[in-house]
């Protein structure tokens, strides 16, 4: 058993955690939820030995422990599966699993023992990976299993899963949840952090809710329904999660796409988008959702025709931005934002000519940043702070501001709420709805069907690079979307 007692931690004058108590039991799955900035990451870093708390203590099997570094937590039986995988891409699976704990014989690496450890750990988690493969050559879902196998190889009694499903496709997510249940049955204790409350309900025995650095509630199964947990997380009612849709019937066509192809992932796409409309794009992993948006934005070579308010659109991404099409990419930390630069630098980056003629007009850029802060309700201390210091939801708002500064007529949004908590999702949905109400046309590609159903006027469904269906009104159900995505509605062979 691992117990946190009266844990308080301060960063300067800011209290990230205040008097937090938490008990992790072996043979139990303990959910840890809260909005971005609630203190979850700080608590996990304390449990895993990355930081020492300002006050309070940790106890392992009743004995007080003070972890000065991760190795000490590992030696105490605590392992961590990080959200952003902590693997070395250019090492093999075998080398990654034993990294930092390599068995030796006569002072030399015992390669045979390393292989045995890796094979046994991979079998335990059900990984099909070749032990000799380089990690960089594995699909993301298999890399996640390698990370879990490494934790298992340490004979951990408590495993902390930090947002492990954030980037996994649904089938891989279901397998991971099954693995958690298996580990629980073997007597391993699990701390599970997730923004997906349906996953929390599916596997957890107990759930602790953090808000503003404090424990505000603890729930036990079976009282773990999302409609119970969500209000406790955000401290307010979320009945109006999705804003009311505006009527777009009869509105002018903002964008027309005809015969758009970017082989092999986009083939013959054709649709119209009206001013003020929010158009969803659904499909299974690999269906071509992202590639469709990238082709429209000028990031992929393509054929076909795109017109904006009747005028043909062409050229690269910068030229299409100037013509009125902006693309907010899926991975804000890699392609959407420069995470180490300031908030104002990120917001001004896509419009440098606007703020640098010929010298940088820092005052104009600062004024634009402050305007977007007010308009999008970006919670920040200073425009000079690194954008990486913001919560996920506020980072996403900065990414939106970066591209909205160019005043686009069409906004292409790829997974706009990935990795943000339920409260931040509601805020982003309101931002998108407000932009549509101003007359901007929005295309939202998402793997979350409830999001598309609640937010969009229409949903296009893709399969193997083609748009195979369009659903509206009462047809917008998860079952109908999945049938199109799997080829059932179209009569395709899905074997």
Identify the pLDDT of residue 489. 58
Identify the pLDDT of residue 388. 87
Identify the pLDDT of residue 238. 58
- For residue 331 the two structure tokens come to 């991975």
Name the helix (H) or strand (E) containing 396. helix 392-404
Crossing angle for the helix pair 422-437 and 392-404, nearest 10 degrees?
20
| Burial label, 253 (beta-carbon count in 10 A; 0-12, 13-18, 19+) | middle
Which value, in Å, is the radius of gyration of the alpha carbons in the chain? Answer: 24
Identify the pLDDT of residue 111. 94
Domain spanning 253-486: CATH 3.30.565.10 = no
DSSP secondary structure string for all residues of 106-159: TTEE-HHHHHHHHHHHHHHHT----TTSBGGGS-HHHHHHHHHHHHHHTT-SEE
Identical topology for domains 2-234 and 253-486: yes
pLDDT, tens digit, 9 for 90 and up, residues 201-217: 999 999 999 988 999 99
- Which phi and psi (to 5°) does residue 120 adopt? -65, -40
Mean pLDDT (10-residue bins), the chain, 495 residues: 93 88 96 86 91 94 91 91 83 94 90 94 87 90 86 88 79 86 94 91 96 92 89 73 91 97 93 98 89 96 95 92 93 82 90 77 90 89 89 87 91 89 85 94 93 96 95 92 80 44
Alpha helices in 186-288 (DSSP H): 197-203, 226-234
Q: Please enumerate in sequence order all residues whose Cβ is within 8 A of that of 167, keeping only pairs 6 or more positions apart, or say none.
A: 140, 418
Identify the pLDDT of residue 342. 94
- Which phi and psi (to 5°) does residue 27 adopt? 70, 25
Identify the pLDDT of residue 339. 87
Domain residue ranges in the chain: 2-234, 253-486
Please choose, from the candidates 420, 481, 414, the residue with its C-alpha nearest in 3D space to the C-alpha of residue 445: 414
Please choose, from the candidates 326, 315, 338, the residue with its C-alpha nearest in 3D space to the C-alpha of residue 435: 326
Direct distance between the N- and C-terminal alpha carbons of the chain, in angstroms, rounded to an integer: 46
Cis peptide before 172 (omega within 30 of 0): no
User: Under CATH, domain 2-234 is a member of which superfamily?
Assistant: P-loop containing nucleotide triphosphate hydrolases (3.40.50.300)
């Amino acid at each position: 058993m691992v117990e946190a007692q009266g844990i308080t931690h301060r960063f300067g004058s800011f209290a990230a955690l205040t008097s937090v108590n938490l008990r992790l039991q072996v043979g139990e799955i303990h959910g840890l939820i809260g909005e971005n900035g609630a203190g979850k990451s700080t608590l996990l870093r304390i449990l895993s030995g990355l930081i020492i708390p300002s006050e309070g203590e940790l106890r392992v099997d009743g004995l007080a422990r003070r972890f000065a570094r991760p190795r000490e937590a590992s030696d105490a039986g605590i392992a961590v599966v990080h959200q952003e995988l902590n693997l070395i891409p250019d090492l093999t699976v075998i080398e990654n699993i034993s990294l930092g704990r390599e068995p030796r014989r006569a002072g030399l690496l015992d390669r045979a023992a390393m292989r045995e450890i890796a094979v046994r750990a991979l079998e335990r988690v059900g990984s099909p990976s070749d032990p000799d493969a380089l990690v960089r050559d594995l699909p993301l879902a298999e890399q996640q299993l390698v990370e879990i196998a490494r934790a298992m190889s340490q004979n951990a009694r408590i495993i902390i899963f930090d947002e492990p499903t954030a980037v996994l496709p649904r089938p891989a997510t279901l397998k991971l949840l099954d693995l958690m249940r298996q580990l629980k049955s073997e007597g391993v204790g699990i701390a599970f952090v997730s923004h997906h409350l349906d996953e929390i309900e599916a596997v957890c025995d107990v759930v602790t809710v953090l808000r503003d650095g404090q424990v505000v509630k603890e729930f036990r199964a079976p009282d773990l329904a999302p409609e119970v947990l969500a209000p406790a997380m955000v401290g307010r009612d979320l009945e109006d999660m999705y804003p009311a849709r505006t009527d777009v019937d009869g509105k002018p066509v903002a964008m027309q796409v005809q015969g758009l192809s970017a082989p092999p992932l986009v083939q013959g796409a054709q649709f119209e988008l009206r001013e003020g409309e929010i158009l969803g794009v659904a499909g299974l992993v690999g269906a071509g959702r992202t590639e469709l948006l990238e082709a429209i934005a000028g990031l992929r070579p393509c054929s076909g025709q795109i017109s904006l308010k009747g005028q043909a659109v062409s050229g690269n991404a910068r030229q299409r931005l100037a013509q009125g099409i902006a693309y907010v990419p899926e991975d804000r930390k890699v392609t959407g934002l420069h995470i180490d630069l300031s908030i104002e630098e990120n917001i001004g980056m896509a419009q440098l000519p606007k703020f640098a003629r010929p010298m940088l007009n820092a005052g104009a850029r600062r004024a634009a940043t402050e305007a977007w802060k007010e308009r999008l309700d970006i919670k920040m201390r200073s425009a000079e702070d690194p954008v990486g210091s913001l919560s996920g939801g506020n980072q996403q708002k900065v990414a939106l501001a970066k591209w909205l500064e160019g005043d686009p007529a069409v906004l292409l949004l790829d997974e706009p709420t990935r990795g943000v908590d339920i409260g931040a999702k509601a805020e982003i949905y309101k931002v998108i709805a407000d932009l549509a109400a101003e007359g901007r046309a929005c295309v939202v590609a998402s793997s979350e069907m409830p999001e598309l159903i609640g937010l969009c006027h229409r949903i296009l469904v893709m399969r193997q690079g083609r748009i195979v269906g369009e659903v509206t009104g009462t047809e917008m159900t998860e079952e109908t979307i999945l049938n199109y995505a799997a080829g059932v509605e179209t009569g395709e062979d899905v074997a």
